[in-house]
Structure 1
Amino acid sequence: METITNPRIQKSKKYFRFLLFAILFIAAGLSLFALAVYMYAKILGPPPLAVPQSTLYYSNDGAIIGESNSGQKRYWVPLNSVSQDVVDATISIEDRNFYHHHGFDIKRIGGALLADAIAMHKVQGASTITQQYAKNLFLTMDKTWTRKISEALYTIRLEMNYSKKQILEGYINTINYGHGAYGIQAASQYYFGKNANKLDLAEASMLVGIPKGPSIYSPINSFEKAKKRQLLVLKSMRENGYITDGEAKSAALEKLTIIGKHAYHRSDLAPYFQDIVKHQLKTALGLSDRTINLGGLRVYTTLDTKQQKIADEVIKESISEDSDIQVGFTAMNPKTGFVTALVGGRNYSDSPYDRAVQATRQPGSTIKPLLYYAALEKGFTPTTMMRSEPTTFKFDNGRAEYTPHNFNNEYADGEITMAQALALSDNVYAVKTHLFLGENTLVKTAKDFGITTKMAKVPSLALGTSGVHVIDMVRAYSMLANGGNKVEPVFITRVEDYQGKVLYDYMPQKEQVLQPDLAYVMTQMMTGMFDKKLNGYAPVTGSTIINQLTRQYAGKSGSTNTDSWMIGFSPQLTAGVWTGYDKGNEITLSADKRYAKTIWARFMERALKGEPIKTFKAPKGVVSVPIDPQSGKIATKDCPVSREMYFVKGSEPSDYCDLHGKEGKTIRKHKDKQKQDGWLHKLFKWL
């Protein structure tokens, strides 16, 4: 019997085959699409995890002195530096299947679509932690299909190239917790005043609830709504097995203290110093402006916050408020070159121009220690004698004249030692020395001392007529303080990126530039400005501040019509001060001329208070001899004044003073008779 096929059955089979082929075709298409997306994601490689992060600047004791950001305060911390309660709460409320999906939670997406369809509007989200992290990394905020596709591609790339731990760490460090706090560390500090690893369960559950709607669930905006959200987070953690009922109840009842204050901000401390640090990050380390400002760097500097505050205080209290005098100040550790304090002006807001580093001003007599060091190298000693009297010097083959003047036109009108010439700041002695050595000598010596500005080869260079930077002069004096080793001003000791990778680490390099014995002899000569034993035709130049000093210092002051300087050091600290007018106006008031010395003395005494009182240690090959300052010879018991002076062994004087006591009178009479006999002999010979 022949079977007759039902046309309806045939038609149904035809539709079934079509549907089967369609499903297989769609599945193949989706598989090919997925494979293409996978291959494309593989080609693109790992997406950059770059988000704006605050760069922090640290002082030498680890304190925060400054911060730069784009308004998003974010301080990246590794996942192991985050409270486990934060990690558990985040996964529980945001993406409980985080460790089991590959970026997209299909089951959750389906449930969300069903819930939205029933409610006829969006009521439930399905984004995973990876998707939200991708959204945070994709910085444009336009709601377009292109953006959504890009975010999806970011999600795939994140899952393909990073571990779950890395993704979770990135997410926790990038999400918005409100009030400008981005990332768990900034949020923890803002809301509770503590680091993220110190958060307890109650605090963690409160913070984790905020990103759902930072303006809604912030405990500062609405503690009631924040509390409801916290309870929801605790319920989720209990249901997902992260905490017990008892722990949830205890956390819910805990009384929380909300701080509502950011831990770091742009500090008013050392703004000029911070500008230099940023400039060096750009020029010396080659970092871009974006990396410097938003790269999450940790910049460790040499700034001593105690010394910086002292510098700011003494400048403010020393200079009259109604004065237009400006200031440039630098303090440095002479052994390392570490800049410990810096002031570039009296008010950064009014003028960010840095007078300690950028300004070029005439150093006046503060250049003389460099000149006299060169003289020591050429065989001079602290007791080398020259006449101090009004003198006109001819130069340029006799075509030009130069007549230096001492302060108040006071002169010894006789011979004085180099030690006393330095202590009294005798200008005639300095110019004579300069011309004797040759004008090229001081130019070369200044360069050896680290002076970076151009020096003019003229007689007046001995009196500091070529401009210099304050920081260069402090560096030069530091070389004398440390025994002749080269020092460079150091502002940055280490730079780390947001992950703690070291980008720069300062490595000291030792180089002997000056002769240690001569550096010590020069240093001892520079203590003379504070020693009344060297008073002569005028008091020593440090006489106005001697009573303020409680330890041994070496230094030199200097002045021109428009500039006032004081630079000096102890074995452990060097500081230099310049005061004057920006436009180079003449300093006419005597009080204005004393600012530099006053600031220096007050700073040094306060900065070193409580520190060991150290003296300069003599190297081998240096000897001390009691000297009569007037004669420059070895002092006897009849000399009214005797001062210990230091010499390179073999260059010390061997003659005893013949100006005082009975022996001195006999010797003087004999010399006077010799002079008289010599004069009579010449007279008779002429006749």
Structure 2
Amino acid sequence: MLGSLLMYVKLSGPPPLRVTQTTTFYGSDQSIIGEKHQNGQNRYWVGLDDISENVIHATIAIEDRKFYDHNGFDFKRIAGAIIADIKAMAKVQGASTITQQYARNLYLGHDKTWKRKAVEALYTMKLEMNYPKDKILEGYLNTIYYGHGTYGIEAAANYYFNKTAAELTLAEASILAGIPKGPAYYSPYLNQENAENRQDIILSSMEKMNFITEAEKKDTLKETLTFVSHDQPKEKVAPYFLDEVKKTVAQQLNLDPEASEAGGLNIYTTLDPVLQEKAEKWVETTIGKESELEAALVAIDPRNGEIKALVGGRDYQKSQYNRATQARRAPGSTFKPFLYYAALQKGFTPSTLLRSEKTTFRYNDDKETYTPHNYGNHYANDFITLAQALALSDNVFAVKTHMLLGLDELINTAKVFGINSPLAELPSLALGTKPVGILEMTNAYSIFANGGFQVPPSFVTKVTDHVGNVLYERELTRERVIDKKSAFVMTHLMTGMFDENLNDYAGVTGANIKNFLHRPAAGKSGTTSMDSWMIGFTPQLVTGVWIGYDQGKTLDNMSGKYAKKIWAQFMEDALQDKPAASFKPPKGVVGVMVNPDNGLLASEGCPVQRLTYYIEGTEPTEYCEEHIHEEPLPEEKAPKKEKGWLKRLLPWFN
């Protein structure tokens, strides 16, 4: 009968060793930014080679001295336990081996029925017949409960001492080895005296087994251990970002569902913890804690699409609604760069002139009208250039351009930039009246920043299992979606919001933040009655900021300025250790000095001149003549020279 049982156990194959484990999230600097505990249990798996020898010896000495000699059951110890229980008329001594305890942890509960004990014996035999001793010991040390929600020696080492299992000293290991016997009784957090008495017993057992000397035991007992304080819960890093990472892993990476459910994954993200801290700082200090305003911020490396910082709201504890990825809000004038890119493709240049004046437009076969208004109802009542229109955020110029191109052109262009939110063929679309996403818009601007490439935004770069096998690794994809020459011309046009040489009937929209910036930057702000936006970039970083109320409350004048201020201060802070990078014109783009008021080549007398870039062949060829006679040239101020005799005679021959 015994032979039949052993045959059955062997033929039934090895039992699975998978247990649920804690998944760890890493920032781009390899620091831990978060954890996901399966079923509320804090677990990590480490190999036996990554566990301190002190732990191994302490565990064997107190739990199973004959571990490497028996076949799963210590019959002598079982007999001794039975005798002790009979004498005491109670259950006073345990006899479970490490293998038995491991079988119980893997497959069974802790009830004390005979049925459970029979199944435990069966699994014990399966483990011993199919796995080497070291593998069983490794599994035991990775699954045993050490109290306070920590399972396995790696989690325990981190929880109690902020160390890895490999770093544990003899004193630390002997304290931890005593906890599994009764976590509520031997935890040093709950009963220091019990823990130290148990440590003494363990060290004595280790001495008997010649793992340590008597002197080492005495020295260890004299040590004063410092335990990690858990009075204050650890603050979550980037909780809105981590929510998106978890969604990405669950929905997009095509991981084995069983592997995801079991946990134990190492998820390497794109987040830069330093930039994240700066983003949160500038949002909070700019708006102020008492304000009910909400905010969202997304920072992306335009070269690879990696999301380096993300703020989804002011307080994750109050609201887990992620405004950076879930909200759809009217972008206002931040939508205009897509319009003007389309215009460049249809023959417009930075010098194209249109009148800025109050205008009523007819559309839908003249059945409907639309009258846009400039901020404060100010108009040039004259012609202005496209470069000025963008820098001053002239709404009439934008709607005129939109109507000239055709109402479908902007929708088609926005789709090229990756704007997938529903849009409509309306004159007001030029002014950003249809809601879009913050991440969606920010990534669209990255196409300008990187010279015309669509790079999908990413949260995760790599995922490995608990032993380091790569389950997913991101492949960078770059698809050219817009012309690089037009991309550069548009980028330079967007630097205009900070250039007061473009001032006209109004000032450039970035004048109030340009003093924060000490490097070339391009961007566009946008404001509606309920939304304030700023999206801008350098070659290294593109950042979008939105400010508003969740319920669509009207912004006051001060609140409408927060987005630009947050953007400028964050960008400067985020890039403070990076060299200032300039936007370099590609081949086929030429820069010429123009008079910004009329877009013509600047003449020597023009009081204001601005370097402006054009696709080669579209640059102006005429010189500005407005200022030629206003100031005499140096030659005209000099005394007239007496004509030579030949020149005096020539008129007589006419």
TM-score by length of 1: 0.88
Farther off after superposition, 523-532 or 354-363: 354-363
Q: Does 1:595 align with 2:562?
A: yes
For 1:617, the equivalent position in structure 2 comes to 584
- Asked if residue 630 in structure 1 is aligned to residue 597 in structure 2, the reply is yes
What is the 5 A alignment of 1:202-281?
A: 202-253=171-222, 255-261=223-229, 267-281=235-249
Cα deviations across residues 486-523 of structure 1 (Å, max 9, x unaligned)?
A: 12121111122223222211111122111111111110
Written as runs of structure 1 = structure 2, the 5 A alignment for 1:359-378 is 359-378=327-346
Amino acid at match of 1:302: T
| Separation in 1, partners of 2:391, 2:522 | 11
Q: Tell me by how many angstroms 1:180 deviates.
A: 2.5
Residues 1:135 and 2:107 are matched in the alignment: no
Residues 1:467 and 2:435 are matched in the alignment: yes
Q: Closer, same or farther in 2 for the Cα pair 1:258/1:663, shift >3 Å?
A: closer
Structure 1 residues 321 and 267: CA distance shift in structure 2, 3 A: closer
In the TM superposition, 1:52-131 aligns within 5 A as 52-69=20-37, 70-131=39-100
C-alpha distance in 2, partners of 1:48/1:524? 61
1:646 alignment partner, SS class: strand
Q: CA deviation at 1:621?
A: 1.6
Separation of aligned partners in 2, 1:624 and 1:202: 72
Identity, % of aligned pairs?
53
Question: Is the 8 Å Cα contact of residues 220 and 260 (structure 1) preserved in structure 2?
Answer: no
Q: After TM superposition, give the deviation of residue 477 of structure 1 in Å.
A: 0.7
> Is the Cα–Cα contact under 8 Å of residues 335 and 482 in structure 1 kept in the other structure?
yes
CA distance in structure 2 between the partners assigned to 1:133 and 1:264 by the alignment: 33
Counterpart position of 2:307: 339
Q: Would the aligned equivalents of 1:327 and 1:579 in 2 still touch at CA under 8 Å?
A: yes
d(CA) in 2 for partners of 1:96 and 1:208? 13
Query: What whole-Å deviation, never above 9, does each CA across 1:201-235 have from its counterpart, x for those lacking one?
Result: 22222221222222222233333332232232222
- Equivalent residue number for residue 526 of structure 1: 494
* Structure-2 residue corresponding to 1:678: none
SS at match of 1:258: coil
* Partner of residue 657 from structure 1, selected from 624, 631, 642: 624
1:505 aligns with 2:477: no
Partner of 1:32: 4
Amino acid at match of 1:534: L
The partner residue of 1:443 within 404, 411, 435 is: 411
Aligned-residue offset at 1:102: 2.4
Conserved? CA contact 1:68–1:293, under 8 Å:
no
Structure 1 residue 79, shift from structure 2 partner: 1.2
**Alpha-carbon distance in structure 2 between the residues aligned to 1:324 and 1:124:** 61
1:84-108 Cα offsets, whole Å, 9 max, x none, are: 1211222232222222332222333
Whether contact under 8 Å (1:56, 1:298) holds in the other structure is yes
Whether the 8 Å CA contact 2:255–2:472 is kept in 1: the answer is no
Say whether the 8 Å CA contact 1:68–1:266 is kept in structure 2: no
- Cα pair distance change 1:471/1:428, threshold 3 Å: same
Q: Equivalent residue of 1:62, what SS?
A: coil
Q: Secondary structure at the match of 2:552?
A: coil
Question: What's 1:197 paired with?
Answer: 166
Q: Is the 8 A contact 2:172 2:225 kept in 1?
A: no
Bigger mean CA deviation after superposition, 244-253 or 282-291:
282-291
TM-score of the aligned structures, taking structure 2 as reference length: 0.92
1: CA distance, partners of 2:490 / 2:111:
70
Residue 381 to residue 665, structure 1, CA distance change in 2 (3 Å): farther
Deviation track 1:602-635 (CA, whole Å, cap 9, x = no partner) reads 2112111222111112212211111110120111
Say which structure is richer in helix.
1
Computing the radius of gyration over CA atoms, which structure comes out larger, 1 or 2?
Answer: 1
- One-letter amino acid matched to 2:451: G
Instruction: Quote the RMSD (CA, aligned, Å).
Output: 2.3
Q: Alignment partner of 1:379: what SS?
A: coil
Correspondence 1:516 to 2:484: yes
Return the letter of the residue paired with 2:443. R
Residue from 4, 9, 14 that aligns with 1:46: 14
Letter in 2 for 1:242: F
Q: CA deviation at 1:658?
A: 1.3
Alignment map for 1:421-460 (pairs within 5 Å) = 421-460=389-428
* 8 Å Cα contact 2:255/2:471 also seen in 1: no
Q: 1:48, 1:430 → 2: CA distance? A: 66
2:456 alignment partner AA = E
For the residue of structure 2 that corresponds to 1:662, the secondary structure is: coil
Cα distance, 1:119 vs. partner? Answer: 4.8
Between the aligned partners of 2:617 and 2:442, the Cα distance in structure 1 is: 31
Q: CA deviation at 1:64?
A: 1.8
Structure 1 residue matching 2:120: 3-state secondary structure: helix
Cα offset for 1:170?
1.1
- For each residue in 1:15-39, what CA deviation from the matched residue of structure 2 results, as whole angstroms up to 9, or x when unmatched? xxxxxxxxxxxxxx33334434x25
Contact 1:77 1:173 in 2 (8 A): yes
User: 1:370 offset after TM fit, Å?
Assistant: 0.8
Cα distance change of structure 1 residues 510 and 258 upon mapping to structure 2, 3 Å threshold: same
Q: Give the superposition deviation at 1:663.
A: 8.4
Letter in 2 for 1:307: L
Q: Which residue identity lines up with residue 448 of structure 2 in the other structure?
A: L
Q: Where does residue 639 of structure 2 map in the other structure?
A: none
Q: Deviations over 1:342-395 (max 9, x none)?
A: 111222222211111111111111011111111112222111112212222221
1:552 is paired with a residue whose SS is coil
**By how many angstroms is 1:250 displaced?**
3.2
146 and 488 in structure 1: CA distance in 2 versus 1, 3 angstrom threshold: same
Q: Aligned partners of 1:397, 1:332: CA distance in 2, in Å?
A: 42
Partner of residue 359 from structure 2, selected from 386, 391, 396: 391
Q: 1:290 to 1:31 in 2, by over 3 A?
A: closer
Deviations 1:535-564 (A, max 9, x none): 011000111112222211100011122211
Cα distance in structure 2, aligned partners of 1:653 and 1:139: 82
Correspondence for 1:155 = 124
In structure 1, what is the Cα distance between the partners aligned to 2:245 and 2:234? 14
**One-letter amino acid of the counterpart of residue 292, structure 2:** D
Shift of 1:286: 4.8
Specify whether residues 267 and 140 from structure 1 end up closer, same or farther in structure 2 by C-alpha distance, changes over 3 A only.
Answer: same
Q: Within 5 Å, which residues of 2 pair with 1:310-321?
A: 310-321=278-289
Q: Deviations over 1:148-177 (max 9, x none)?
A: 222222212222332222211111111122
AA of the residue aligned to 2:82: L
Q: 1:630/1:98 Cα in 2 relative to 1: closer, same or farther (>3 Å)?
A: same
Write out aligned runs for 1:525-564 (5 A).
525-564=493-532
Unpaired runs of 5+ residues, structure 2, are: 634-654
Q: Does residue 484 in structure 1 map to residue 456 in structure 2?
A: no
Tell me the distance in 2 between the aligned counterparts of 1:235 and 1:172: 21
Match of 2:296 among 328, 340, 348: 328
- Could you tell me how far 1:291 is from its partner in structure 2? 6.2
Separation (CA, whole Å) in 2 of partners of 1:577 and 1:657: 39
Q: Unaligned stretches of 5+ in structure 1? A: 1-28, 667-687
Q: Which residue of 2 aligns with 1:179?
A: 148
Cα shift readout 1:249-269 (whole Å, capped 9, x = no counterpart): 33333x132314369966333
CA distance in 2 between counterparts of 1:260 and 1:582 reads: 40
Give aligned pairs, total.
Answer: 632
1:591-610 superposed Cα distances (whole Å, 9 cap, x missing partner): 11111111111211211122
- How far apart are the structure 2 equivalents of 1:410 and 1:33? 94
Q: Which stretch of the first structure deviates more once superposed, 239-248 or 604-613?
A: 239-248
Cα 1:520/1:661, change in 2 over 3 Å? same
Over 3 Å counting, the alpha-carbon distance change for 1:642 and 1:570 in structure 2 is same
